[in-house]
A and B are shown apart, each in its own frame.
Chain A
């Protein structure tokens, strides 16, 4: 039982490049979330998926897209990376839209 897994762990991009962050959970949770964490800013919600087949915007969705591929997987895509998207990205999942369990994070640097 791995919980929530994220790939890659680290990534360096050049401005304008695209990439997809992958997240998977093996807890059969309905809800999944993407956050970014910047120094002194806490965690900010980018997108979430309350259930398979649905997605919705969080606090800071601009510059991102998401796909809920199936119940297990929820990916985050940066179409044209910008230096302002340098951050640590966390995926989380929840069974009951309450307690959330976090993955190990992806550290992204955009040059």
Chain B
């Protein structure tokens, strides 16, 4: 079992719809969770991070964390063609003084938003 798992997709949604991207992780001690967006041929860029159970909203993006079920999701409302990219989920198991920032990444989900 991979430490961080994502469905590689592609996930195809029509313009204006809600895109839902999911990620599961195996280490119950994981402390913080990140979503990165990566356009083809470019480097990853941070979209959101979440530490606590529940929802965190930022514009059209909502991250959801459920530590009991060990999953984190990203919702993109009013999806636009410019949202077409690969979305990477990353997990940091460290915390406090022992936190070195070592991230474990999933393989990424490719999102296609069709006009």
Give Cα A90 to B41, complex, Å: 12
Interface residues of B in 30-64 (CB under 8 A from A): 32, 34, 42-46, 49
Interface size class of chain B, counting residues whose CB lies under 8 Å from the partner chain: 20 to 34
Contact (Cβ within 8 A) A101 B101: no
Q: Which residues of A contact B70 (CB under 8 A)?
A: none
Contact (Cβ within 8 A) A48 B105: no
Tally of A interface residues using CB under 8 Å: 25
Contact (Cβ within 8 A) A45 B43: no
Contact (Cβ within 8 A) B46 A58: no
What 0/1 pattern do residues 92 to 111 of A give for CB contact below 8 A with B? 00101111111111000000
Give Cα A65 to B45, complex, Å: 26
Give Cα A81 to B46, complex, Å: 31
Contact (Cβ within 8 A) A100 B49: no
A26 close to chain B: CB less than 8 A: no
Give Cα A28 to B7, complex, Å: 36
Q: Which residues of B contact A76 (CB under 8 A)?
A: none
Contact (Cβ within 8 A) B46 A99: yes
Contact (Cβ within 8 A) A31 B43: no
Contact (Cβ within 8 A) A94 B105: no
- Given known A98-B49, A99-B49, contact A40–B101 (CB-CB < 8 A): no
Contact (Cβ within 8 A) A102 B49: no
Contact (Cβ within 8 A) A43 B88: yes
In whole Å, how far is B13's beta carbon from the nearest beta carbon of chain A?
A: 22
Ranked nearest first, the 9 interchain pairs of A and B with the lowest CB-CB distance are: A97-B101, A102-B43, A42-B105, A42-B107, A43-B105, A50-B100, A97-B99, A94-B101, A31-B101
Residues of B within 8 A of A (CB): 4, 8, 32, 34, 42-46, 49, 88, 90, 92, 94, 99-108
